[in-house]
Copies of this chain bind each other. A is one copy, B any other.
Amino acid sequence: MGNTLGEKFKLTVAGESHGPAIIAIVDGCPSNLDIKLEDIQKELDRRKPGQSRITTERREEDKVKILSGIFEGKTLRTSITLIVYNKAIDSNKYIPIKDKFRPGHADYTYFTKYGIRDWRGGGFASGRVTVAMVAGGAIAKRVLQDYGIKIIGYVKEIGNIKAENIDYNEIEKNSVRCPDKNKAREMEEKILAVKAEGDSIGGLVEVVAKGVPAGLGEPRFEGLKGQLSNAFYSMGAVTCVEFGAGHKAKNMLGSEFNDQMYSENGRIRHYTNNAGGILGGISNGEDIITRVTIKPTPSIAKQQKTVDIYGNNVKIKIQGEHDPCICPRAVPVIESVTAIVLTDFLLQK
C-alpha cells in the first residue's frame, strides 16, 4: 500500500530500483490538455543520476514513454501511463552486502514487516522510484500552468552554508540548484569534500508555490499543510517539514506572528507571510512557502556497525557509486509532489 498520492488527481507509482522499469499512472488529469513528451523528459533530466560531479555516478538515461491516456497529443482524461525502463541494473555491487542491513536505509524495517528481502539496491524502497513522482509531477505542472500556478524549488542550505541572495534565475545554472550563486559554489565544494571522505551531508530545500488562489485546501485532516507534508515524507530522507515561519514560530509572539491584512485593489493581502500562505488548511492567496530538511544520504563508504539477517553483529562498507548529497536531485521531486497535491485540490479533492 502507500503507492498512490492524491484523490481527484492521483499518481500511482510502481517498479523497483533493479527491476525492468519504473511506472507512473496519473489518473484524473483533465481532458483535452496538450502534453508534450519533452516536457516530461525535461523534468526527468533534472532528477536523473549522473548529471553532475556532485551526484551519484549511476548511469541512467531515464527516457520516458507514454503507454496510455494521450491520443493525438491530447489527454483523454483516462489514466495516463508513463514508463521508464531501467538500464543500469547491474546488481553485483550489492552481493557482498546482501545479507546486511544498511544503517539509515529501510532494509531492516522492510525485512521485519514483510519477511523477505530484495537486496538489489533498495528495491521498491529505493529513491529510484522518485522517477515516477517526477514523471507524474510534470503532468501536474502542466495542469497548474493553465491556472497560472508555478512551483519553484531550490536548495537553501547545505551543512551550515545558507543561501542569502535569492535569485530564481540562478537555480538551474549551478549543480546544487541554489539560488545564490556564490553560496552555490561553497556548497559544491563542501559536497565534494564530503564525497572525498566517503561521507554524505544533509541540507534544506525550499519550495515556493506562486499564484495559488485563496480558498484552496480543505479543513482539518485534509488540510494543505498536512497533505503536503505527507507527500514530502514519502521520501525516506525527509526529517522536518515547515511552513512559513515554521520552526521559528516557537519563539514568536502573536503580535509578531499574525499576518495582518489589508485590502488593495479589491484583493485581500497580508503584510507578512509567517503562515506560509495557509490558514486552517486553506490557502490565503499569498505564496505557499515550505521547507523540507533532507538527511544525509545513508549510503556511505565509511565502515559502520550493523546486523545481518541472521541477527549477527557485523560491519558494513557500502562500495560503488554514492550520492554525497541528495538535495539537488530532491528539488524536482519535492516540486513534483507539491504540484500533485495542489492539482489534486484544484480539481476538487
The interface of chain A, by Cβ under 8 A from chain B, is: 1-5, 7-8, 10, 12-16, 19-21, 23, 25, 27-28, 31-32, 67-69, 71, 74-79, 81, 101, 103-106, 108-110, 112-116, 118, 120, 123-125, 129, 157-160, 194, 199-204, 214-223, 225-227, 229-234, 236, 238-247, 249-263, 266, 268, 270-271, 274-276, 278-285, 293-300, 302, 304-307, 311-313, 348-349
Is there an interface contact between B215 and A226, defined as CB atoms closer than 8 Å?
A: no
Is there an interface contact between A67 and B14, defined as CB atoms closer than 8 Å?
A: yes
11 contacts between A and B (CB under 8 A): A2-B220, A103-B260, A109-B282, A109-B284, A110-B219, A159-B250, A226-B234, A239-B249, A240-B240, A260-B304, A261-B305
Partner of A348, one of B8, B216, B221, B232: B8
Give, as a whole number of angstroms, the nearest-CB distance from A146 to chain B: 15
Residues of B within 8 A of A293 (CB): 242, 246-247, 249-250
Closest to A4 in B: B221
Given A8-B1, A19-B67, A247-B240, check contact A252 B221 (CB 8 Å). no
Taken together as a complex, chains A and B put the C-alpha atoms of A81 and B223 apart, in Å, by 21
3 tightest CB-CB pairs across the interface, nearest first?
A: A106-B280, A2-B222, A226-B233
Is there an interface contact between A2 and B105, defined as CB atoms closer than 8 Å?
A: no
Is there an interface contact between B219 and A3, defined as CB atoms closer than 8 Å?
A: yes
Residues of B within 8 A of A10 (CB): 1
Interface centre among A75, A106, A313 (most CB of B within 10 A): A106
Taken together as a complex, chains A and B put the C-alpha atoms of A218 and B7 apart, in Å, by 13
Give, as a whole number of angstroms, the nearest-CB distance from A196 to chain B: 13
Is there an interface contact between B31 and A254, defined as CB atoms closer than 8 Å?
A: no
Residues of B within 8 A of A263 (CB): 307, 311-313
